[in-house]
Structure 1
Amino acid sequence: MRVITFGTFDVFHIGHVNILERAKEMGNYLIVGVSSDALNISKKGRPPIYSQEDRLKIVESLHCVDEVFIEESLDLKGQYINTYEADILVMGDDWKGKFDQFSSICSVKYFPRTEGISTTEVISQVKDLA
């Protein structure tokens, strides 16, 4: 089974590891779309801390990840699922229901986020220490 997931993966933390490892457990091949810098700016209104090249390198270095690519647009999710022949789409439950339209081409699963950790929280903590 081929599993696909997407994310910015900025300021990489244990929550990212948890969702990627759980996604890999759903199948035998994990594909990860890493949001481009431009997509991150359009979603969050700010550039990521690390460049898309650095974030791509971080994610592809993980033992549970088999393939990575740059996600250019949220509107292309269906195309990405088809291109990478994914059987399962995994997303964090903060996106719950937003990708159900893809259930006709693959199984859609939403995983709970790791409690007490988020990129926004990490950035805030670092700012407080500065």
Structure 2
Amino acid sequence: MRVITFGTFDVFHVGHLRILERARELGDCLSVGVSTDTMNFAKKNRYPVYDQQERVQIIRALRCVDEVFLEESMELKRHYIEIHQADILVMGDDWAGKFDEFSDICRVVYLPRTPSVSTTAIIEKIRIPKS
């Protein structure tokens, strides 16, 4: 079984690691789409802390990940699922129901997020207050 998931994976933390490990447990091969800097800016109106090449390098180094590619657009998810021949699409449960349209080509699984861990919260916590 081939599994695919997507994410920004900025300021990599234990929540990212846990969802990737759980996704890999569902199959024999895990493909991970890392959102491009441009795509992140379009979605969140800010660039990631780490650029896309650094984030790809971090994800590629994980034992549970078999292949990494850049996700350039949310509208291309079906294309990515098809070209990576994914049997299962895994996303965090904060996206529950948003990708059910792909259930015609693969199983869609929403995994619970790690409680009390988020990139946004980490960034806010370490941000130095302006004087």
TM-score by length of 1: 0.98
- Once the two structures are TM-superposed, the CA of residue 129 in structure 1 deviates from its matched residue by 7.8
Matching of residue 11 in structure 1 with residue 8 in structure 2: no
Flag structure 1 segments of 5+ consecutive residues without an equivalent: none
Please state whether the residue corresponding to 1:12 is helix, strand or coil: coil
Distance 1:78 1:109 in 2: 15
Identity score, percent: 60
Letter in 2 for 1:99: F
CA distance in 2, matches of 1:120, 1:61: 23
Instruction: Give the TM-score normalised by the residue count of structure 2.
Output: 0.97
- Distance in 1, matches of 2:14 and 2:67, equals 20
Q: Distance in 2 between matches of 1:105 and 1:88?
A: 9
- 2:32 partner letter: V
Matches of 1:33 and 1:115, distance apart in 2: 23
Q: Which amino acid aligns with 1:39?
A: M
- CA distance, structure 2, for counterparts of residue 75 and residue 121 of structure 1: 27
Look up the match of 1:103.
Answer: 103
After superposition, residues 1-130 of structure 1 pair within 5 angstroms as 1-127=1-127
**Alignment length (residue pairs):** 130
1:127: Cα distance to partner? 1.2
From the superposition, tell whether residues 114 and 128 of structure 1 become closer, same or farther in structure 2 (CA, over 3 Å).
Answer: farther
Q: CA 1:100–1:57 in structure 2 vs 1: closer, same or farther (change >3 Å)?
A: same
Q: Whole-Å Cα distance in 1 between the matches of residues 14 and 128 of structure 2? A: 20
C-alpha deviation, 1:64, in angstroms = 0.1
